């Protein structure tokens, strides 16, 4: 099955309709990821036949949980090869997205993707999340491969709007990590994500601050 067919069938299964231009950009992104991954080891998945399921559809499964208003802002922490930030930015071109990673080789790749695919709603920042000091906070913060939920909220709390949400992507339900969250962080939901073509468990932990001072 071609990657294009995989993507079209996967989007249908997710109930996500995207215009043809967005679908082509997603496939172009997957091609760039495969090309660069051969040299820079951007992701642990090296089989190009898994790019649609494990990268594109896995990222797009988060779409229903993003802020719905047009001017929303999103920070993708530890973006690595650009997941989930790049697929979400392609699907939501009106949303402003910042991809943050401490690896210069990974942010070099992310900047190349932004240039080649003309993704004008994406900015890339190289640095550690705890040292990042943007002019404004974000409506949502995503993370796909961050080590621990408590570390994520501790290191990025200064970057989240008062009424914003963390959207942390995990494999199996991270009950132990949830139990270690600080008292001033509320778990708004733990959602099982059914990603077409991905056999293992996928969960999204949605969190917010219990107080305005966080």
The model's confidence at residue 129, banded by pLDDT at 50, 70 and 90, is very high
Mean pLDDT of the chain: 94
Q: Give the model's pLDDT for residue 214.
A: 40
**What's the average model confidence in pLDDT over 99-116?**
96
103 labeled binding residue: yes
HSE, CB side, 13 Å, CA atoms: give it for residue 170.
22
| Digit-coded pLDDT (tens) for 8-55 | 999 999 999 999 999 999 999 999 999 998 887 778 777 878 899 999
pLDDT(99) > 50: yes
198 labeled binding residue: no
Q: Is the pTM of this model over 0.85?
A: yes
pLDDT(212) > 70: no
Better-scored residue on pLDDT, 168 or 1: 168
The model's confidence at residue 88, banded by pLDDT at 50, 70 and 90, is very high
Q: Give the model's pLDDT for residue 40.
A: 77
101 labeled binding residue: yes
* Helix (H) or strand (E) segment spanning residue 90: helix 85-91
For the chain, the helix, strand and coil percentages under 3-state DSSP, each to the nearest 5: 40, 20, 35
Better-scored residue on pLDDT, 207 or 49: 207
Question: Distance (Å, rounded) from C-alpha 97 to C-alpha 161?
Answer: 14
78 labeled binding residue: yes
| Digit-coded pLDDT (tens) for 167-205 | 999 999 999 999 999 999 999 999 999 999 999 899 999
CATH of 3-209, one of 3.30.70.100, 3.20.20.140, 3.40.50.150, 3.40.250.10: 3.40.50.150
Tell me how far apart the terminal alpha carbons of the chain are, to the nearest angstrom: 47
102 labeled binding residue: yes
Question: Distance (Å, rounded) from C-alpha 164 to C-alpha 159?
Answer: 10
- From the list 136, 150, 185, the residue with the least C-alpha distance to 165 is 185
> Tokens for 191?
């959602």
95 labeled binding residue: no
Q: Give the model's pLDDT for residue 147.
A: 80
**What's the average model confidence in pLDDT over 65-70?**
92
| Digit-coded pLDDT (tens) for 143-164 | 997 889 999 999 999 999 999 9
23 labeled binding residue: no
Q: Give the model's pLDDT for residue 211.
A: 65
């Amino acid at each position: 099955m071609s990657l294009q067919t995989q993507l079209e069938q996967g989007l249908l299964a997710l109930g996500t309709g995207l215009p043809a231009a967005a679908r082509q950009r997603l496939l172009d992104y997957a091609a760039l990821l495969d090309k660069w991954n051969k040299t820079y080891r951007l992701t642990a998945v090296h089989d190009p036949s898994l790019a649609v399921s494990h990268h594109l559809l896995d990222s797009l499964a988060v779409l229903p949980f993003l802020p719905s208003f047009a001017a929303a802002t999103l920070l993708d922490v530890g973006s690595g090869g650009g997941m989930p930030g790049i697929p979400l930015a392609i699907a939501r071109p009106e949303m402003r997205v910042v991809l943050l990673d401490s690896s210069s080789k990974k942010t070099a790749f992310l900047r190349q993707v932004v240039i080649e695919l003309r993704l004008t709603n994406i900015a890339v920042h190289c640095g550690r999340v705890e040292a990042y000091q943007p002019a404004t906070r974000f409506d949502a913060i995503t993370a796909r491969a961050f080590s621990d939920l408590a570390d994520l909220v501790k290191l990025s709390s200064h970057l989240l709007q008062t009424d914003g949400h963390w959207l942390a992507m995990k494999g199996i339900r991270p009950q132990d990590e949830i139990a270690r969250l600080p008292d001033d962080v509320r778990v708004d939901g733990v959602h099982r994500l059914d990603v077409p073509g991905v056999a293992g468990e996928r969960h999204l932990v949605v969190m917010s601050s219990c107080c305005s001072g966080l």
